[in-house]
Amino acid sequence: MCGIFGIVTQTEQNLGPILVEAARRLTYRGYDSVGAATIKNGVIDLRKDKGRVDEVAEKYKIAEMTGQRGMIQLRWATFGVPSKENSQPHLDSEGKMVGAHNGNVVNNVELREQFMAEGMTVRSQNDGESCVHAVERYVRQGKDMVTAIRMAYDDLQGDYAFVIGLADDDKLYAIKKGSGLVVGIGEGFTCVSSDLPSILPLTRKVIRLNDGDVVTLSADEVALHAVADGSFIAREPEMITDEMSSVQKGGYAHFMLKEIHEQPAVARELLHLLKNNAELPAILGAIRNARNVYLVGCGTSYHACLMGSVYFSQLGARTTIPVLAPQFVPQYLPGANNQDVAFFVSQSGETRDVLKALDAARAVGVTCFSMANVIGSTLTRTTAAWLPLTCGYEISVPATKTFTNQVITFLYLATCLGGKDLTNLMALPELMEKTIAETDPVARELADSINPWQDCYSLGYGATYAIALEGALKLKEVTYAHCEGMLSTEFKHGPLSAVTPGFPVLFSAGKDDVDVIVSGMNEVTCREGRAIAIGAEDSRLRANATDLVTIPASDAMSTPILETIPLQLLSYYMAVGRGYDPDFPRNLSKTLTVD
């Protein structure tokens, strides 16, 4: 998700240690590159490269950088592979302006072409550089910095925030659009950052910026202006009293809960990027024309593949084969060839089982695409084309936002493949926000009542089958209880014998599958078990379920994604209720690089 920090002081001084420490406090956001810039006597000193904070800081002696103004950036790659050139901050064409951003400028490719046509010097593929050139465009026309930033705002599409400064000025400027940005006010300095952890060691007096705020930072004051008309904005600073650990988690008790709540925002950012992704036509064409299409993943990513297979079938009239990565070689490789396509899915892009299946598929000529959250990972570097998940760093071991963005990517591809309208899909982030707000208190209460049980089942049908499996996996990961996910119609073929009075069984009800789910619930309730339904308000569900967790009404393809959220919340609250840390479950790792 990147992280930026900028500071303005009254006099030139050694800013390096301040910048390095600020960067260290933003590392929890995830990054692959580091860069810093200071401005002294009208000269910009820029040092950057891919790598970790301490590694890059030592290599380029960032702690020795001096100036009256400075900025540092941690980059999480979206546009352009991790490299020195794509690292931030970036310069304008003449090296008289420097800036860095957080977020995604989704029309980056188009803007770069415009800037080069206008005679600007474009040095990277990174969208952070596009923020600098977008301001440069209007400075060249004689506009002052605030006006240039306001005009650039309309050119830069997506969700982002950036900080920028001129060599021959004594100020820094910043703007917020979607991505986080906070201003700090101290004795003899002001600063701005993506998040509070880098500010609070310096000052606890802050101003939280809103979308459309343009801020001018001087050593002794800050000025806010509205992007729409340039009018002055009066906003009083506040004093932050929270502990640092709470601040890093955004006020949430655990990263898992924070990342559940981040799902609408990262989904919105993903949809922006998919809309402008140059790789999509080739990927869709290959899927459309392939003999066989395999969707390959492990664990949570495999569940996303299962969901993707349903989407491709129902929306794109295209049969696809979801495969657990270790099973690809013995079950499908002997019949695979260069007429086939395989889509490999991994949060980290380094999952050993997935990479082994990829190597085998490539060896027989299969056209291979990938989906990952870590750009520059092995998976993204060894496939014909890849799609970024744009989730930022996911600290909690249980996947939450990476799963939903994997599923949304498949839904987007299937919708485009079938030539269907994208309107419902574009409304999904708002529905996710509503789902979190409405189901959080219900999941908390439900967790308390079923936590005494050490066994349960999670059932689904059709479009919600994969969601039932993912819900069961989340419960197992963080509560250490046994929860088995399966097709609801299979429950009567054996597992029904486990039902005793009060035994909890979770049912994820698809919009078009309520009758089937009701039948399954009655098999449980007539044996005095507890049937817990998750679905949109429906008189049949309400009449037959022991408990009903309602989600907002939506179309049949969006419903499974929304139903994922209460299952995540239920898992989280059950784990906390049992005294377990949901962020770091025992025996588990975020990235599995062994067989």
Q: Give me the active site residues, please.
A: 2, 590
Taking a C-beta distance cutoff of 8 angstroms, is the pair 175, 214 a contact? Answer: yes
Q: Which residues pair with 295 in a beta bridge?
A: 322, 343
CA distances from 341 to 56, 291, 338, 357, 375 (A): 39, 8, 8, 13, 21
Task: Give the N- to C-terminal CA distance of the chain in Å, as an integer.
Answer: 30
Q: For Cα atoms 477, 485, 328, give the angle at the middle one, nearest 5 degrees.
A: 85
Side chain identity at 595, as an amino acid letter?
D
Taking a C-beta distance cutoff of 8 angstroms, is the pair 51, 10 a contact? Answer: no
- d(C-alpha 312, C-alpha 286), whole Å: 14
Taking a C-beta distance cutoff of 8 angstroms, is the pair 565, 436 a contact? Answer: yes
Nearest residue to 388 via CA among 53, 115, 74, 127:
127
Side chain identity at 540, as an amino acid letter?
R
DSSP label at 259?
Answer: H
- d(C-alpha 578, C-alpha 565), whole Å: 20
- d(C-alpha 427, C-alpha 430), whole Å: 6
For 307, the 3-state DSSP assignment is helix
For 54, the 3-state DSSP assignment is helix
Taking a C-beta distance cutoff of 8 angstroms, is the pair 35, 48 a contact? Answer: yes
Total count of residues recorded for the chain = 595
